[in-house]
Amino acid sequence: MSLDIIEVYKSLTNKSKSLFEESSKYLPFGVSSNYRYFDPYPIYLVKGKGSRVWDVDGNEYIDYILGFGVLEVGHSHPRIVEEVRRAVEDSTILGFEYEKSVELAKIICNRYNVDMVRFSSTGTEATMHAIRIARAYTKRKKIIKFEGHYHGSHDQLLINVNPMRLESRVPTSPGIPEETLSNTLVADWNDYEGFERLVRVHGNDVAAVIMEPVAMNMGLIPADLDFLKGVFDLARDYGFLVIFDEVKTGGKFYSGASGYYGLKPDLVTLGKAIAGGLPLSVVAGRRDVLGVVGPGRVAHGGTFNANPLSVRVAIVTLRDILTEGAFYYMNSLSEELQKGYEDIADDLDIDLIVTKWGPSGMIYFNSKVPKNYKDFIKSDFKSWFTYFYYMVAKGILPMASFNEQWTVSIAHTKEDISKHLEVARDAIKLAKNKKLNLDLFEAF
């Protein structure tokens, strides 16, 4: 195929281009989050319903991005729309504690096997508070994170998230003082021996290790169970805490990765899918660890923490919508996507690997499944970008970027999956035969 897929994209999104040019006068790169931008300009959306979204040009897309994994309930779920309407009538914020926050706390404690919770609004806040709590509890300073894992946009963990160069310590953004990162240590995912060496040197100064128990910011790379168990054993031996950042994974199985792996971390952060599309996050964990929080103790605050809209929608989402049956349905559709991609790769005789975990999955133009970021960075990203732009031009939003994954919602249908795979076959065929000349990878 000889078409220039970027030119096709441009021809379909003239209004997005105009809006980008206007918005860039007022918003850096025309967006409110760096992750919403891609070259030559991003799509501007106007509405979503069920499994679909529409842009300013009137183009309709089957959406597998779902707000970066937030909307497993689908867009504008009628039960959630009704709950928001009812909640707004009682006030969007009350100042003092909202009566239903205890009901939501009980649901989360039972579902995720934790003792206590504190609510906030974003995943960034949740992980920021979690490491502060860990430091206060252990009276230690150092935090271990893993390369390729993302824990929000606060300074202390913005290191080696998606470095373009493989070095031992790479700040993710200008503006972060080295002294702020001096107590952040970086390890390789799924490398127990390397982690053990790091702990032998620094273990007595480590307050916690924080991880995505399934790495979902370098595509999708599950943890080896033996690796996780080894991390837990070392944490116990050296007296530091284990933090599962389940902002993403907490909505991929009924009880998140903690329940899936049968492990109980000391602290868990939750967010994204648990509130059905509204902003809410959670720091949860052991009673003695959360017990350090309070007036005159560890600081934790936020004007919009446990606001009535988010609390009420989260109750409905966890109690009535994202049931075990819903996860079974989403997982079955995700399995169809996985098998479909594997069949396409076999038919076209192309190096393409698929990883899946629950309703989410990722394709790598690679000959083997990555185990960590160093493997991930070796993937053929030019092929991925060719695939991506073709999918978008044909009305499929497959995943948000080369380091994200697809997510299936309860609103998706078998017909949606069939359409996805039909377009994907042509996209992968194009990627095999003609890669983009433009090195768009650097734009991310």
Q: Residues 408, 64: contact at Cβ < 8 Å?
A: yes
CB–CB of 207/183 below 8 Å? no
How far is Cα 442 from Cα 440, in angstroms, rounded to an integer? 5
Q: Is 176 exposed, middle or buried (0-12, 13-18, 19+ CB in 10 A)?
A: middle
Q: How many CB atoms lie within 10 A of CB 254?
A: 18
Q: Report which DSSP code applies to 440.
A: G
- State how far the Cα of 237 lies from the Cα of 50, in Å rounded to an integer: 48
Residues 6+ apart with CB under 8 A from 349: none
Q: Could you list the active site residues? A: 150, 245, 272
Within 224-350, where are the H helices? Answer: 225-238, 256-261, 287-290, 308-316, 324-348
Q: What residues contact 309, with CB distance under 8 A and at least 6 apart?
A: 84, 87, 88, 92, 278
The helix or strand, by DSSP H or E, that contains position 352, with its residue range, turns out to be none
Tell me whether residue 84 is exposed, middle or buried, using C-beta atoms within 10 angstroms of its C-beta: 0 to 12, 13 to 18, 19 or more.
Answer: buried
Bridge partners (DSSP) of residue 270 are 246, 282
Displacement of CA 209 from its chain's centroid (Å): 19
Residue 50: both structure tokens together: 């069920």
- DSSP for 38-75, written as a single string: -SS----EEEEEBTEEEETT--EEEESSHHHHT-TT-B
Separation CA 35–CA 401 (nearest Å): 8
* Contact status, residue 399 vs residue 65, Cβ threshold 8 Å: yes
Distance of alpha carbon 165 from alpha carbon 373, whole angstroms: 11
Structure-token pair, residue 168: 């031992």
What count of other Cβ atoms lies within 10 Å of the Cβ of residue 110?
A: 11
